[in-house]
């Protein structure tokens, strides 16, 4: 497997200054903060302080993802939340796909003001599910290191799909970590009490749309809003209904984050 080129700086982490309402943005498996940039900038236009992180093993080369376990992802998200909470009065979290799972998990570990889960998978089905089973726990376990992403990213908008700098393959070992983390999050859903927004594309070819219903059924959120996007594929943050996603997340977070004020000098 040849190394992928490091990602340009514009696809890396971002920190958008605003008031003391914080938002943490988390991208998906094999993705980069680019997936969250449009949403992050939309939230910043509402005056919020927005941080988009790069998960361990991501936004560099696909080989760097191979040895990473899901504990590294959860620890990185918790650390980013703590840093943002130190300079904001309240922090909300939004994640795409794996990022949605991480947002749900963070809501069981930290006093998150509100969370948004976008196209988070609790299981894989169809060809993706078959590949995951046979390569991580089935007859090909330990025999295949990398698998190509046939067709590229699961995005309906062709321009957005071409521009997306996600890895073009994924390490099978890391896929096994994703599968294990899906099971862990599913078990922990009843612990999620924070206000929760769930968005999912009806044409998603990666994360089963039924995951949205299962999340809604199992959480005990103080407020719950679920919306299916009729035209979107998997990466809803950059797909054809990305403006709808940004509006939904922005409105939901504005209701649950306290009115902001400028950060204190030196903060």
Phi, psi torsion values for 241, nearest 5 degrees = -110, 30
Residues 6 or more apart in contact with residue 9 via CB below 8 angstroms: none
How many of the other CB atoms lie within 10 Å of CB of 209? 15
> pLDDT digits over 60-83, tens only?
999 999 999 999 999 999 999 999
Using CA atoms, how far residue 30 sits from 57, 79, 188, in Å, is 8, 20, 24
Query: Is it the case that residue 247 has pLDDT exceeding 70?
Result: yes
Enter the CATH code of domain 10-256. 3.40.50.1820
Strand 49-53 with 115-118, pairing: unpaired
Higher per-residue pLDDT: 116 or 145: 116
> pLDDT digits over 162-217, tens only?
999 999 998 999 999 999 999 999 999 999 999 999 999 999 999 999 999 999 99
Query: Is it the case that residue 245 has pLDDT exceeding 60?
Result: yes
Please report, for the chain, the start and end positions of each structural domain, with discontinuous segments joined by +: 10-256
> With contact defined as beta carbons under 8 Å apart, do 22 and 49 qualify?
yes
What pLDDT, on the 0 to 100 scale, is given for residue 222? Answer: 96
Percent of the chain residues topping a pLDDT of 70: 88
> With contact defined as beta carbons under 8 Å apart, do 189 and 215 qualify?
yes
State the average pLDDT for the chain. Answer: 91
Longest dimension (CA), the chain: 59
Query: Is it the case that residue 261 has pLDDT exceeding 90?
Result: no
């Amino acid at each position: 497997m040849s190394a992928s080129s490091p990602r340009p700086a514009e696809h890396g982490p971002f920190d958008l200054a605003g008031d003391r309402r914080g938002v943490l943005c988390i991208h998906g498996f094999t993705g980069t903060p680019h997936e969250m940039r449009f949403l992050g900038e939309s939230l910043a236009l509402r005056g919020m302080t927005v941080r988009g992180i790069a998960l361990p093993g991501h936004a560099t080369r696909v080989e760097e993802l191979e040895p990473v376990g899901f504990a590294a992802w959860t620890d990185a998200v918790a650390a980013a939340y703590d840093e943002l909470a130190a300079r904001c009065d309240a922090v909300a979290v939004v994640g795409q796909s794996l990022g949605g799972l991480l947002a749900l998990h963070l809501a069981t570990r930290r006093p998150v003001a509100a969370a948004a889960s976008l196209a988070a998978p609790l299981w894989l089905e169809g060809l993706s599910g078959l590949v995951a089973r046979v390569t991580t726990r089935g007859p090909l376990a330990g025999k295949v290191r990398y698998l190509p992403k046939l067709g590229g990213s699961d995005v309906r908008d062709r321009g957005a799909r071409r521009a997306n700098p996600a890895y073009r393959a994924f390490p099978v070992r890391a896929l096994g970590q994703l599968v294990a983390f899906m099971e862990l999050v599913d078990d922990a859903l009843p612990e999620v009490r924070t206000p929760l927004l769930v968005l999912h594309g009806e044409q998603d070819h990666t994360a089963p749309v039924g995951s949205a219903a299962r999340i809604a059924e199992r959480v005990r959120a103080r407020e719950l809003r679920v919306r299916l996007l009729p035209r979107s594929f998997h990466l809803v943050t950059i797909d054809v209904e990305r403006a709808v996603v940004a509006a939904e997340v922005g409105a939901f977070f504005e209701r649950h984050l306290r009115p902001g004020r400028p950060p204190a000098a030196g903060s």
